[in-house]
C-alpha cells in the first residue's frame, strides 16, 4: 500500500472529507458458480467474510467481501449498450451508491455495525464474457469495485450508511 505523509498535498487530499454512501443491494453466492441470492440483510464475520457466502476465507485473506458502486453498474451497462445490468451478473456481495469505492481502498469504513478495510481492486474475471456477453470483460475493467477484509463483524441491511472511519488503515 502506498502511504503519503498526512502533511503532503496528496496526503491531505486523500484524507479529505467524503460524503457517505448507502448500501443498496446484498448478494450471497452459496456455492461456486451457483446463482447469486439477493438478501435484505446479512452478517459479516471478522476475518472470514459474509455468512453463507461460499468465499468464506479461513486465512483472513484480502477478498472477504466484494463491493461495487451502483454508478459503476450504470457505466458497465452503458459500455455494453444496455439500459442496465443486474448486480447478480457481477457476482459481488454489496452494491453501494453515492461513494467512490476507490476512495475506500486501504481505508477503514463502516457498513451497518461492521467495520471493513478496503484491501484492493476487484478485477473482472473471464466469466464476465459469459455473464454479460461479448465485451463484458472489457466493460468491467476499471469498474469492478473493491475487495475488503472484515475487521469487526456485524449485521448489515439495505439502506445502511457506508462511511470512512479513518484517514488510513492501521
Q: Give the CATH number for residue 134.
A: 2.40.33.20
pLDDT tops 70 at residue 168: no
What pLDDT, on a 0 to 100 scale, did the predictor assign at position 1? 46
- DSSP string across the chain: -----TTSHHHHHHTS----EEEEEEEE--STTPPPEEESEEEEETTTEETT-TT--SS--S-SEEEEEHHHHHHHHHHTT-S---GGGGT-SEEEESS-GGGGBTSEEEETTEEEEEEEE----THHHHHH-TTHHHHHTT-S-EEEEEEE-EEEETT-EEEE--SS--
Q: Is residue 44 one of the residues assigned to a domain?
A: yes
Q: Is residue 11 one of the residues assigned to a domain?
A: no
What pLDDT, on a 0 to 100 scale, did the predictor assign at position 135? 96
Q: Is residue 53 one of the residues assigned to a domain?
A: yes
Q: Is residue 58 one of the residues assigned to a domain?
A: yes
What pLDDT, on a 0 to 100 scale, did the predictor assign at position 9? 85
Q: Is residue 47 one of the residues assigned to a domain?
A: yes
Our count of domains for the chain comes to 1
Q: Is residue 23 one of the residues assigned to a domain?
A: yes
Global model pTM greater than 0.75: yes
Residue 149's domain comprises 19-164
Amino acid at each position: 500500500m502506498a502511504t503519503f505523509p498526512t502533511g503532503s498535498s496528496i496526503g491531505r487530499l486523500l484524507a479529505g472529507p467524503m460524503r457517505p454512501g448507502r448500501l443498496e443491494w446484498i448478494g450471497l453466492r452459496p456455492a461456486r458458480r451457483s446463482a447469486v441470492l439477493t438478501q435484505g440483510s446479512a452478517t459479516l464475520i471478522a476475518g472470514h467474510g459474509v455468512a453463507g457466502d461460499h468465499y468464506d476465507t479461513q486465512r483472513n485473506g484480502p477478498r472477504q467481501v466484494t463491493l461495487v458502486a451502483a454508478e459503476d453498474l450504470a457505466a458497465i451497462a452503458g459500455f455494453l449498450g444496455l439500459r442496465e445490468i443486474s448486480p447478480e451478473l457481477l457476482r459481488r456481495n454489496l452494491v453501494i451508491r453515492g461513494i467512490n469505492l476507490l476512495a475506500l481502498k486501504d481505508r477503514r469504513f463502516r457498513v451497518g455495525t461492521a467495520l471493513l478495510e478496503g484491501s484492493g481492486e476487484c478485477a473482472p474475471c473471464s466469466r464476465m464474457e459469459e455473464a454479460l456477453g461479448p465485451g463484458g470483460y472489457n466493460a468491467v475493467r476499471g469498474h469492478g469495485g473493491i475487495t475488503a477484509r472484515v475487521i469487526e463483524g456485524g449485521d448489515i441491511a439495505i439502506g445502511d450508511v457506508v462511511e470512512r472511519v479513518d484517514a488510513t488503515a492501521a
